[in-house]
């Protein structure tokens, strides 16, 4: 295959892509350097699958039974989509975009479509059960992600079929606790180019849906949230990981993997030990507060903010949540906890010491950030002023306002 000659001058990238497309399909000139490798490889696959780019493409739903099965099998994913739908609609409602959610095979299980006057393809494509795989509709962002498992943007003439060249789409994979491709989130605009970085936006939205899916599938795993900045801890940018009752990392999302310097999916034969990557025992991690974040020093030297979201039996029997809003003496155990053996009424001494140190460090950092204002620090931490006073170092010279 010949390589493309030097590009003629075009002010519009869409025109450059259009020329590369024509040279590739008509003259066999490689589009390398103009379209991404993912799009180029998709074109090659679609040439083997379809008669050519000029035939009419139809966005057809799969059978009704397969659609029902897709919804049943992906109930947690669909629930996560529904939970994020209000935020998604607020974000995209005044743009030219529609959002589409498919399962791992490319079958549509959720979509938003505003029915704008200029839209002709989106109302047809954004229907429950429509198959967006490469086998069905050629090169599209959702179809490429289903095939490769990697984020991709496909604009204008990068679509395989001529009849889809007016579309612009960006899609991101959504993975489950097994690391498998659970679904794909796509945002598409018809005839109007994106006026923003669509890859960043869809990545944010997909992250929020994926995190909800992971939490729904966590079962009895101890779930930790991790981030370098406190405000990000409750956002879609939060790192999430699940720890089983043996202290092994059962799963982690991409953000957590990057923060911990680990592959996103640890090999099944070599499960990660939470203590080796987090620098804390299972007891200490289990005893982390769930109402507020604590600093978590890692073996790498990095200090992250961490918050626990315990699940089921991962927490020892008689587990006591060390809430920031009340000291242990003010806590009232539930009846089941009151009946537990005495040695199971609280975390181990090592765990208590670790959490106490983390609380003290967090308090000091918060006081410094608040200029020594005890009332403001208490408000930020969501605790009483009395709680702050009780944990001040003796002889502290901080000013209260």
Per-residue pLDDT band for 222 (boundaries 50, 70, 90) equals very high
353 vs 68, residue with greater confidence: 68
Within 10 A of 398 (CB to CB), how many other CB atoms are there? 16
The pTM for the full model equals 0.76
Question: Are 236 and 205 within 8 A, CB to CB?
Answer: yes
pLDDT of res. 347: 43
Mean pLDDT across the stretch 56-65? 94
CA dist., res. 170 & res. 342, Å (int): 56
Is pLDDT of 227 > 60? yes
Interacting residues of 84 by C-beta distance below 8 A, sequence separation 6+: 205, 208, 209, 212
Q: In what order do the strands lie in the sheet with 181-190?
A: 108-111, 97-103, 181-190, 167-175, 152-155
Instruction: List, for residues 141-159, the tens digit of each pLDDT value.
Output: 999 999 999 999 999 999 9
Instruction: List, for residues 276-304, the tens digit of each pLDDT value.
Output: 999 999 999 999 988 899 999 999 999 99
HEC profile of 154-195:
EEHHHCCCHHHCCEEEEEEEEECCCCCEEEEEEEEEECCCCC
> For 337, phi and psi rounded to 5 degrees?
-70, -35
Instruction: List, for residues 121-136, the tens digit of each pLDDT value.
Output: 999 999 999 999 999 9
Residue of 157, 207, 210 whose CA lies nearest to 182: 210
52 vs 377, residue with greater confidence: 52
- Domains of the chain from N-terminus onward: 2-49 (no CATH), 64-214 (3.30.450.40), 218-264+271-390 (no CATH)
pLDDT of res. 247: 95
Residue of 256, 176, 181 whose CA lies nearest to 213: 176
234 vs 40, residue with greater confidence: 40
Long-range contacts of 349-355 (CB under 8 A, 24+ apart): 350/281, 350/283, 350/284, 351/281, 351/283, 351/284, 351/286, 351/287, 352/287, 352/322, 354/280, 354/284, 354/287, 355/284, 355/287, 355/288, 355/289, 355/294, 355/322
At 34, list the tokens: 């103009």
pLDDT of res. 62: 97
CA dist., res. 192 & res. 234, Å (int): 33
Most confident of 110-119, 297-306, 307-316: 297-306
Question: Are 137 and 56 within 8 A, CB to CB?
Answer: no
CA dist., res. 184 & res. 141, Å (int): 9
- How many residues can be counted in the chain? 401
* Helix, coil or strand: residue 35: strand
pLDDT of res. 328: 35
Sign of the four-CA dihedral 250, 252, 256, 261: positive
pLDDT of res. 369: 67
* Average confidence score pLDDT of the chain: 83
DSSP secondary structure string, 286-335? HTS-SSS-EEEE-TTS-EEEEEEE--GGGSPTT-----TTS-GGG----H
pLDDT of res. 363: 74
In the 8-state DSSP scheme, what is residue 231?
G
Mean pLDDT across the stretch 364-385? 72
Per-residue pLDDT band for 313 (boundaries 50, 70, 90) equals very low
Mean pLDDT across the stretch 233-259? 94
pLDDT of res. 73: 97
Per-residue pLDDT band for 334 (boundaries 50, 70, 90) equals very low
Is pLDDT of 46 > 80? yes
For 286-305, b/e burial (b = at least 16 CB within 10 A) is bbbbbebbbbbbbeeeeebb
pLDDT of res. 155: 96
Within 10 A of 72 (CB to CB), how many other CB atoms are there? 9
Per-residue pLDDT band for 116 (boundaries 50, 70, 90) equals confident
CA dist., res. 167 & res. 124, Å (int): 13
Compute the chain's Rg from CA coordinates. 26
């Amino acid at each position: 295959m010949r390589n493309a000659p030097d590009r003629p001058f075009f002010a519009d990238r869409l025109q450059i892509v259009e020329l590369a497309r024509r040279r590739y399909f008509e003259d066999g000139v490689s589009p390398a350097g103009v379209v991404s490798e993912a799009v180029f490889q998709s074109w090659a696959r679609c040439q083997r699958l379809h008669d050519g780019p000029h035939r009419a493409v139809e966005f057809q739903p799969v059978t009704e039974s397969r659609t029902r099965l897709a919804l049943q099998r992906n109930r947690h994913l669909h629930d996560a989509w529904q939970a994020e739908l209000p935020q998604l609609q607020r974000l995209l409602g005044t743009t030219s975009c529609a959002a589409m959610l498919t399962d791992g095979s490319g079958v549509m299980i959720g979509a938003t479509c505003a029915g704008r006057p200029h839209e002709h393809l989106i109302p047809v494509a954004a229907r429950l059960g429509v198959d967006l795989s490469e086998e069905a509709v050629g090169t599209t962002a959702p179809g490429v992600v289903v095939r490769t498992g990697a984020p991709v943007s496909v604009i204008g003439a990068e679509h395989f079929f001529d009849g889809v060249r007016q579309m612009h789409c960006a899609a991101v994979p959504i993975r489950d606790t097994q690391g498998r491709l659970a679904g794909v989130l796509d945002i598409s605009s018809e005839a109007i180019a994106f006026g923003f970085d669509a890859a960043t936006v869809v990545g944010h939205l997909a992250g929020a849906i994926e995190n909800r899916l992971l939490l729904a599938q966590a079962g009895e795993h101890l779930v930790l949230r991790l981030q370098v900045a406190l405000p990000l801890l409750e956002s879609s940018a939060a790192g999430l990981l699940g720890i089983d009752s043996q202290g092994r990392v059962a799963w982690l999302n991409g953000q957590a993997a990057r923060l911990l310097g680990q592959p996103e999916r640890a090999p099944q034969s070599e499960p990660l030990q939470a203590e080796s990557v987090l620098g804390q025992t299972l007891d200490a991690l289990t005893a982390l507060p769930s109402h507020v974040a604590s600093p978590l020093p890692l073996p790498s030297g990095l200090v992250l903010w961490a918050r626990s979201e315990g699940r089921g039996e991962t927490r020892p029997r008689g587990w006591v949540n060390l809430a920031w809003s009340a000291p242990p003496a003010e806590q009232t155990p539930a009846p089941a906890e009151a009946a537990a053996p005495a040695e199971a009424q609280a975390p181990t001494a090592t765990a208590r010491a670790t959490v106490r140190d983390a609380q003290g460090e967090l308090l000091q950092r918060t006081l410094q950030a608040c200029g020594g204002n005890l009332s403001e620090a208490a408000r930020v931490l969501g605790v009483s002023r009395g709680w702050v006073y009780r944990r001040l170092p003796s002889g502290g010279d901080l000013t209260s306002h």
